[in-house]
Amino acid sequence: MVFTIATPTAHFSCFSAANETLPSSLRFRPPKLPLFWLWQKVKVGPMSVSPMGFGTWAWGNQLLWGYDEAMDTELQRTFNLAIENGINLFDTADSYGTGRLIGQSEKLLGKFIREFQGQKQVRDNIVIATKFAAYPWRLTPGQFVNACKSSLERMQIEQIGIGQLHWSTANYAPPQELALWDGLVAMYEKGLVRAVGVSNYGPKQLVKIHDYLKARGVPLCSAQVQFSLLSMGEDQMEIKNICDSLGIRLISYSPLGLGMLTGKYTPSNLPRGPRGLLFSQIIPGLEPLLNSQREIAQRRRKTMSQVAINWCICKGTIPIPGVKTVKQAEENLGALGWRLSSDELLQLEYAARESPRRMIQNIFQTR
């Protein structure tokens, strides 16, 4: 054989040495491979989105997440990093924020989109999924449409990607439910949203709203529920099966169990505030699951968070982990570009079932 490994190695070695003598602006930089390819994007209604989105519940929430307006610069850097790495789905809600900061999450998202310095095409492909709260004073379709218009004004955008009903009122105010459904239809027909979805809908109500919207000529494109290795009970798996059968995309919120699946907390090291109380009740019973996560993470050279998020992706959902810092975003991005094996999925799910504690389900989720 004529060709050997030595020849190309020597060639690149010489090039590299010469490269060091050039100004930094002229130096050769190998192309950066994407974390996922275009064909790996996921269809949600008429839109194509990244296999993972980012949640913005913490943006404006002082009570649970310790938000302070001094964090906005870091949040903007976090947003830019996500966009630059192909993330184009961002989830928010008109109720995100506490006190005078209600709506802050939407305001920041709109600001960051306007100020993004990248290509216009990249900015135009951003999909905002916002949720409209089923407040007791939103009793008519028109009031729900006005809520959508208010979100558009806060974000200063012309159209929302996915307009979502934040929760069902079927358990406590059934008459209001139909008005909210008609509100979704109206905002879709008026072109205020490209698609509609729901959040915190259990199996029975999910089928009901799907059939109702279908009869009105409006496709239900997404259902957002708490779904993770801590939330894989019968209801959640039934919701997933219904979504698969009806062509609804499942968006999994809290894929890290509010942080319990990150491996950063122990019974003696708990977060401050309300989360600390919740964690103290659940973490002591998660040893089988956390040990399994840790073992796979070490073998894969990944973090426990990346393993937990990747599990959601492998189950066919779009996880939307929350991000507050560049460091968190960088770690979460590491969940892309690889897949757990079938054996690893089974190992994690067995460990989750063997763990005596589970995540408390959202009280707003219907049956």
Q: Among the listed ranges 87-91, 99-103, 217-221, 314-318, which one has the minimum average pLDDT value? A: 99-103
Which tokens in the block code for residue 209? Answer: 């709203």
Contact 269, 243 (CB under 8 A): no
Q: Which residue has the tokens 């966009």?
A: 83
For residue 288, being part of any structural domain is answered with no
pLDDT value at 360 more than 80: no
pLDDT, residue 3, reads 34
Q: Among the listed ranges 34-38, 102-106, 270-274, which one has the minimum average pLDDT value? A: 34-38
For residue 25, being part of any structural domain is answered with no
For residue 23, being part of any structural domain is answered with no
Rounded Cα distance between 239 and 246, Å, is 11
Task: Count H helices and E strands in the chain, helices first.
Answer: 14, 10
For residue 207, being part of any structural domain is answered with yes
Quick one: pLDDT band at residue 23, thresholds 50, 70, 90?
low
Cα angle: 213, vertex 216, 222; to 5 degrees: 25
Q: Give the chain's domain count.
A: 1
For residue 123, being part of any structural domain is answered with yes
User: Is residue 135 flagged as an active site residue?
Assistant: no
Q: What's the CATH number where 213 sits?
A: 3.20.20.100
86, 83, 56: which is closest to 71 by C-alpha?
Answer: 56
pLDDT value at 30 more than 90: no
Which of 67, 96, 201, 265 is flagged as catalytic? Answer: 96
Residue type, 283: I
Burial class, 29, CB count within 10 angstroms (exposed 0-12 / middle 13-18 / buried 19+): exposed
For residue 271, being part of any structural domain is answered with no
Instruction: Quick: pLDDT tens for 184-218.
Output: 999 999 999 999 999 999 999 999 999 999 999 99
pLDDT, residue 356, reads 76
263, 240, 254: which is closest to 360 by C-alpha?
Answer: 254
CB-based contacts of 242-248 (< 8 A; 24+ apart in sequence): 242/203, 242/206, 242/207, 243/206, 244/316, 246/207, 246/210, 246/220, 247/219, 248/206, 248/210, 248/220, 248/221, 248/222, 248/223
Task: List C-alpha distances in Å: 18 to 29, 30, 346.
Answer: 13, 15, 51
Contact 224, 196 (CB under 8 A): no
For residue 325, being part of any structural domain is answered with yes
Quick one: pLDDT band at residue 274, thresholds 50, 70, 90?
confident
Task: List C-alpha distances in Å: 202 to 164, 179, 268, 282, 295.
Answer: 15, 19, 35, 23, 33
Percent of the chain with pLDDT over 90: 76
pLDDT, residue 25, reads 47
Quick one: pLDDT band at residue 132, thresholds 50, 70, 90?
very high
The three-class DSSP label of residue 180 is: helix
For residue 285, being part of any structural domain is answered with no
Contact 160, 324 (CB under 8 A): no
The three-class DSSP label of residue 48 is: strand
pLDDT, residue 1, reads 38
Rounded Cα distance between 227 and 257, Å, is 9
Residue type, 276: G
pLDDT value at 54 more than 70: yes
Q: Among the listed ranges 32-36, 101-105, 340-344, which one has the minimum average pLDDT value? A: 32-36
Instruction: Quick: pLDDT tens for 138-182.
Output: 999 999 999 999 999 999 999 999 999 999 999 999 999 999 999
The three-class DSSP label of residue 335 is: coil
Rg (CA), the chain: 22
Instruction: Provide the residue count of the chain.
Output: 367
What domain range includes position 159?
39-257+312-339
